[in-house]
Amino acid sequence: MPAKTFQTILIANRGEIACRIMRTARSLGYRTVAVFSPADADAPHVLAADCAVALAGNAPSQSYLDIDQLLAAARKGGADAVHPGYGFLAENEQFARACADAGLVFIGPGPDAIARMGNKRQAKDLMEAAGVPVIPGVRGSAQDPDALLAAAREVGLPVMVKAAAGGGGKGMRRVMEEAHLADAIRSAASEAASSFGDAELIIERALDRSRHVEIQVFADRHGGVIHLGERDCSLQRRHQKIIEECPSPAVDADLRSRMGEAAVAAARAIDYVGAGTVEFLLEESGDFHFLEMNTRLQVEHPVTEMVTGLDLVAWQLQIAAGQPLPLSQEQVSWNGHAIEARLYAEAPDQGFVPQTGHLQAFSLAAADGVRVDSGVRAGQWVSPFYDPMLAKVIAYGPDRETARRRLKRCLAEARIAGVITNRAYLLRALDSRVFVSAAVTTDTIDAGSTELLAPELDIRRWAPAALLLAGADRESELAGAARSMQRKLLIDAGGEAVVVSCRITRTRDDWMVRADEVEIRLRLLRLDDGVMQIESDGVLSRCGFSYQGLVVSLADAVGDVRVEDLSLAAPTVNEGSEAGLLRIPMDGTVVDVPVEPGQAVSKGDAILIMEAMKMETTLRAGVDGVVGELGLKSGDSVRKGQTVTVIQAQEDHAD
């Protein structure tokens, strides 16, 4: 479709990417239109737009994935262009075509290019024909489970089971043993169908100790195609990136040139226009293999912007308006180093399970060399309907070490309360020997480095919350009151929550907290503006806090802790240590219940499969035993903390 001018842009997305696009669009004089679901009615992207149009439902299929609603929103808002952001419909050829048919400029590649790269099987066939190296595997085989099992055996374990229409780690499973193949194929197909509406799978060889290195490409409508260098996205969890950097520590000028030429060839092979990213797996030998091409802006595009000094969204808008590329390949330069960390509402110590809840506090300040791209604010509800990313923190420096230190400092000083996040995990990752030495590979997290494990929950981590729950914030009101009290506290630091009985005593000058034969003395020096300053054993420290009812959330450089006072609550099964209790870890929807009441199960067996924030999670038995009552079925909505069942341990069930 020929380029045409446009004045008003509908952002067909939400969260931080919608805010990011709006910043550049407004700076260039464009008017912006937001769309929002009921769950996002008070989200920052709604307030940042010139106008906003409501969508009907919260589920993605009823809101941000509903093409008819988005086109109607464009008409209501007076938009003559659409920017899809990333995720949702950004790589949907039907959406790109529908926009063109409606007379709207689609700020991205044409529908034919999206279609060619949208299916991994078809994309890899095209890349082979264009001379781009691809990962060995089996593509286009029959999709029944037996045929896929046979394909996996042909490739040879370990293998990657991947959704042909997938991306972002969804519908992807790494399989090391044949005994796990059937379950991996079933769950990958189910997740693929749910996320992309297409259950087709491909099987590829798993490349151990490889790096995930991607090349940013841009192409205009006049035949110009260039690359803007590489990004290293090797630190991943559940096949989703969490820390990215530019340039890659493993890429020198010669390798950058060769990978860049391959990426440009990939773009030319499909007559590409706009911003795109060609992803490769880079082996220790220096060999690289085509992984996929993302026909959109990437989440991690800011690290490229920081190092090149370019605004990639501005380039997208210029190309969509028919302008040529602003630079030639020879004019592109890279200076310094940038690292991005993705801050998620998730519990790393529970398998990175997404978290939901009320975001009581959210303060993440930019500083020298640090940029923060966020799509949430304090007071907002983190819902189960969408991806759990809260913000991206991007640090720049003249060298990698300076960027790393700046990123650490920003994360350490963040004040977030109400939901558990991966903030502490990111800090541990940035400090790990494998990251500092730039030896990260895609299986670093799976390898289970002890440096990435959460520290033991020490009394010093949660004692400041005990002071608040004992009334330290109401000193003047409590003068003369009894100053010693027993408390039962539920402490959650992102791992398994524990119940602790403690005694809190107020002396003339300070406080004593005692639990499990351990006692510490604390002096409260400052308590205002969401910050506590405490002295203990001559050491001054501070932490952020949020206080709501009988719950205190703390945030310091070590991590986040949520402390709830159970002293007045009725006794519940939460206070026991029964390993057979199975609870829902976050709000979501039941996908399958593969067991029945009375069925004997072994530790590790799947009891319930659920979906939340576009990811499948399997709840497994914690003990050998017999399944109790089950009141759930496929399609049921479930809430965080809800009891699924109690598995009666075998020794308890013997009689």
Q: Provide φ and ψ at 8, rounded to 5°.
A: -125, 130
Structural tokens at position 513:
């907290």
Backbone Cα Rg of the chain: 26
Contact 85, 21 (CB under 8 A): yes
Q: Is the torsion defined by CA of 13, 14, 17, 23 positive or negative?
A: positive
Contact 92, 196 (CB under 8 A): no
Contact 494, 560 (CB under 8 A): yes
Structural tokens at position 73:
């929103």
Identify how many contiguous H helices and E strands the chain contains and give both numbers: 16, 39
Surface-to-core class of residue 297, CB atoms within 10 Å of its CB (0-12 exposed, 13-18 middle, 19+ buried): buried
Tell me the C-alpha distance between 169 and 153, whole Å: 22
Active site residue 296: yes
Given the residues 173, 296, 404, 506, select the one marked as catalytic.
296
**Interior/surface letters 333-348, b for 16+ CB within 10 angstroms, e for the rest:** ebebbbbbbbbbbbbb
Q: What angle do CA 169, 173, 179 make, to 5 degrees?
A: 170
Structural tokens at position 577:
């240590």
Nearest residue to 560 via CA among 488, 490, 493: 493
Q: State the greatest distance between any 2 C-alpha atoms of the chain, in Å, as a whole number.
A: 83
Contact 275, 296 (CB under 8 A): yes
Contact 415, 389 (CB under 8 A): no
Tell me the C-alpha distance between 384 and 640, whole Å: 10
Angle in degrees, 0-180, between the axes of helices 400-412 and 423-431, rounded to the nearest 10: 150
Contacts of 86 (CB under 8 A, 6+ apart): 13, 17, 294, 296, 297, 298, 299
Active site residues: 296
